[in-house]
């Protein structure tokens, strides 16, 4: 009943009022100060507490366990009684002095895989690739077809290659091709850089490789693009230092993963390297990256196509003889042809124009050529 409620409220109000007026203002202040002191004491305790170390459980024996501390040493330690049930491989927090296991931390993965890979859905189309028609056909056959029509392979009774290796000079379009095939199959593009897989501690690189493959299976259909494969898969001339052994171990794990997944698993591997000559033949053995696709420096016709692609949106004052320009770019890679277009644009900007003319292009070609030559000299200088 509203009247009754109102009455009750007024009684409560009067009690509250009388309570607050009757309490001494000093008492109130005292209470607040005490609270503050307590809070600060707690804070000091927090500062004094020693940090717990993150370790990995190796083996469990009743209420003791073998743990591996981050520097690699292993110890047999006690498990605190109120710690939940543990399994080997899990990460736990241990006390620093006696290494008693205090509690489990709810992350089982060692790496945040997404920190080591670049994941994207590329939008590159085949039309944006100039002059590599034969290579495009081949990559379509090996990567696109099995992803799009797996039943075809089942019917014929063959297993498609698990992956391909693209090799060739820098800037010739290897990354571009891999992205285009990911876009055309609507796959997740997972880019890994070979040198980043090499970790500091023993066994970590191998674990990372394993987790990247697990991750890619979850994201299937997916294309795993391993750039700079030579950092990992270089021929093992001499396995001396422990660092080399770690690279080797990571590489072995990569091979094991390549062997492990099924050819129709909806995950395809594309490796890329500038140095096929130093690659370990184990990685290109049939059943692994068994198709090798050479991506050459563009021919004259290819240069023309690439130039057309990159100058498509540029404004010219009058028709430019693109064929002449293409013939002047002997030996240029796709990336260099793109650089020529950008540089030509800059010459126009410097000349206070909003269109590009033939002279801009000729100057740009010279500039890119000079840069290339200078680089070449540095390179020679570096190796005597």
CA distance 87 to 90: 6
CB of 174 or CB of 219, closer to Mg ion? 174
CB of 228 to ligand ATP, least distance (A): 8
CB of 301 to ligand ATP, least distance (A): 12
CA distance 131 to 123: 19
Give the footprint of Mg ion on this chain (CB under 5 A): 175
Backbone angles phi, psi at 163, to 5 degrees: -165, 175
CB of 361 to ligand ATP, least distance (A): 17
In the list Mg ion, ligand ATP, none, the entry touching 271 (Cβ below 5 to 8 angstroms by class) is none
DSSP E strands: which ranges in 274-362?
291-294
In the list ligand ATP, Mg ion, none, the entry touching 130 (Cβ below 5 to 8 angstroms by class) is ligand ATP
CB of 170 to ligand ATP, least distance (A): 3
In the list Mg ion, ligand ATP, none, the entry touching 267 (Cβ below 5 to 8 angstroms by class) is none
CB of 209 or CB of 272, closer to Mg ion? 272
CB of 189 or CB of 246, closer to ligand ATP? 189
Q: Is the dihedral of CA 153, 156, 162, 166 positive or negative?
A: negative
Backbone angles phi, psi at 174, to 5 degrees: -65, -50
Q: Is the dihedral of CA 237, 261, 198, 67 positive or negative?
A: negative
CB of 131 or CB of 146, closer to ligand ATP? 131
CB of 103 or CB of 276, closer to ligand ATP? 276
Among all chains, which residue has been given the structure tokens 């033939």?
A: 358
CB of 140 to ligand ATP, least distance (A): 15
CA angle 196, 201, 203 (to 5 degrees): 85
In the list ligand ATP, Mg ion, none, the entry touching 65 (Cβ below 5 to 8 angstroms by class) is none
CB of 154 to ligand ATP, least distance (A): 33
In the list Mg ion, ligand ATP, none, the entry touching 254 (Cβ below 5 to 8 angstroms by class) is none
CA dist list (Å): 196 to 87, 133, 191, 206? 29, 32, 11, 12
In the list ligand ATP, Mg ion, none, the entry touching 146 (Cβ below 5 to 8 angstroms by class) is none
CA distance 358 to 326: 12
In the list Mg ion, ligand ATP, none, the entry touching 297 (Cβ below 5 to 8 angstroms by class) is none
CA distance 29 to 276: 78
CB of 332 to ligand ATP, least distance (A): 10
CB of 172 to Mg ion, least distance (A): 9
CA distance 284 to 165: 8
Pairing type for strands 101-104 and 91-94 reads antiparallel
Find the residue with minimal CB distance to Mg ion.
175
Which pair of structure tokens corresponds to residue 192? 């890994």
Closest of 59, 194, 37, 182 to residue 121, by C-alpha? 182
User: How crowded is residue 74: how many other Cβ atoms within 10 Å of its Cβ?
Assistant: 13
CB of 130 or CB of 146, closer to ligand ATP? 130
User: Contact at 8 Å (CB) between 279 and 235?
Assistant: yes
CB of 209 or CB of 229, closer to ligand ATP? 229
Which pair of structure tokens corresponds to residue 136? 């495009």
CB of 176 or CB of 304, closer to ligand ATP? 176
Find the residue with minimal CB distance to ligand ATP.
334
Give the footprint of ligand ATP on this chain (CB under 6 A): 129-132, 170-176, 274, 306, 309, 334-335, 338
CB of 276 to Mg ion, least distance (A): 14
CB of 79 or CB of 166, closer to ligand ATP? 166
């Amino acid at each position: 009943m509203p009247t009754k409620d109102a009455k009750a409220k007024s009684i409560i109000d009067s009690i509250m009022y009388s309570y607050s007026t009757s309490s001494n203002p000093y008492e109130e202040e005292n209470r607040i100060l005490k609270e503050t002191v307590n809070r600060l004491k707690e804070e000091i305790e927090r500062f004094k507490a020693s940090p717990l170390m993150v370790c990995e459980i190796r083996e469990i024996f009743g209420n003791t366990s073998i743990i591996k501390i981050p520097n690699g040493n292993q110890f047999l330690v006690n498990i605190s009684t109120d710690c939940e049930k543990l399994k080997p491989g899990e990460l736990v927090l241990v006390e620093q002095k006696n290494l008693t296991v205090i509690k489990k931390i709810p992350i089982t993965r060692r790496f945040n895989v997404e920190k080591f890979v670049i994941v994207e859905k590329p939008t590159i189309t085949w039309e944006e690739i100039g002059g590599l028609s034969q290579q495009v056909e081949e990559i379509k056959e090996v990567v696109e077809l099995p992803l799009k029509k797996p039943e075809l392979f089942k019917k014929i009774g063959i297993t498609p290659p698990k992956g391909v290796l693209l090799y060739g000079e820098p800037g010739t379009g290897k990354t571009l091709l891999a992205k285009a095939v990911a876009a055309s199959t609507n796959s997740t593009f997972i880019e890994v850089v070979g040198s980043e897989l090499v970790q500091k501690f023993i066994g970590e690189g191998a674990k990372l490789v394993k987790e990247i493959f697990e991750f890619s299976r979850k994201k299937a259909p997916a294309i795993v693009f391993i750039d700079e494969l030579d950092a990992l898969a270089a021929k093992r001339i001499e396995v001396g230092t422990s660092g080399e052994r770690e690279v080797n171990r990571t590489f072995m794990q990569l091979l094991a993963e390549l062997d492990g997944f099924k050819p129709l698993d909806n995950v395809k591997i594309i490796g890329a390297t500038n140095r096929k000559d130093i690659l370990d033949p184990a990685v290109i053995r049939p059943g692994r990256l068994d198709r090798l696709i050479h991506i050459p420096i563009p021919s004259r016709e290819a240069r023309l196509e690439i130039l057309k692609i990159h100058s498509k949106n540029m404004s010219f004052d009058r028709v430019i003889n693109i064929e002449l320009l293409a013939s002047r770019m002997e030996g240029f890679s796709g990336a260099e042809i793109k650089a020529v277009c950008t540089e030509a644009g800059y010459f126009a900007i410097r000349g206070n124009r909003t269109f590009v003319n033939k002279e801009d292009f000729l100057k740009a070609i010279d500039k890119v050529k000079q840069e290339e030559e200078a680089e070449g000299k540095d390179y020679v200088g570096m190796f005597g």
